[in-house]
Amino acid sequence: MSLYIQRLKQENISGSVREREREMEAGKGTVKAVALIVGDNNVKGSIHFLHQSNGTTHVSGRITGLSPGLHGFHIHALGDTTNGCNSTGPHFNPLNKHHGAPADHHRHAGDLGNILAGPDGVAEISITDSQIPLSGVHSILGRAVVVHADPDDLGRGGHELSKTTGNAGARVGCGIIGLQSSV
């Protein structure tokens, strides 16, 4: 593909994002994003993000192939999966706070708590959060959503990793958050 065509495509994508951001600021629209989850031992799924004009983002989706029980669920800083989920960086934390629970005022923006996989290994997700916008300076677009092997202790576990990762263990699935078509 020629450099000229690549630039045109990038300008169209950038223009589309700017247009959606202007609509959000004017209270006219919503922004949608999606992440396709892939990982260890047949972990897979899709997560949808809907940033609403009231400033919250609704996260919904389904992940299969998990071990039954609670799993830490976070937005990580990087959308880099060149080394699987290990290259997604730390939790998204633009305000440099300690790890915490989703309801805590002082927490990483990417701290979304736990998801519950049933006996069949399926987790149905429905979360609404005000710290993970899809536009603006702290946008999560281009970052990664990560599912961990263990429960997130919400920063209260007393482990040396509690205040940074929630001691949630290995990364068993992840996906890059990308802008979704509005049609």
Whether 108 sits among the annotated catalytic residues: the reply is yes
* Long-range contacts, stretch 63-66, CB < 8 angstroms, 24+ apart: 63/37, 63/115, 63/117, 63/122, 63/123, 63/125, 63/147, 63/173, 64/121, 64/122, 64/123, 65/39, 65/41, 65/121, 65/173, 66/117, 66/121, 66/122, 66/123, 66/147, 66/172, 66/173
The domain 3-179: what is its CATH number?
2.60.40.200
Domain map of the chain by residue range? 3-179
104 is catalytic: no
pLDDT per residue of the chain (183 residues) written in tens, 0 to 9: 444 444 444 555 455 555 555 554 544 567 999 999 999 889 999 999 999 989 999 999 999 999 999 999 999 999 999 999 999 999 999 999 999 999 998 999 999 999 999 999 999 999 999 999 999 999 999 999 999 999 999 999 989 998 889 999 999 999 999 999 876
Q: Is 76 a catalytic residue?
A: yes
Please give the structure tokens belonging to residue 174.
Answer: 């992840």
74 noted as active-site residue: yes
Q: Six-digit token pair at 5?
A: 């065509």
Residue of 111, 129, 150, 153 marked catalytic: 111
Residue tagged active-site, from 76, 107, 152, 153? 76
Of the residues 20, 51, 71, 74, which is catalytic? 74
- Point out the catalytic residue in the list 51, 108, 152, 153: 108
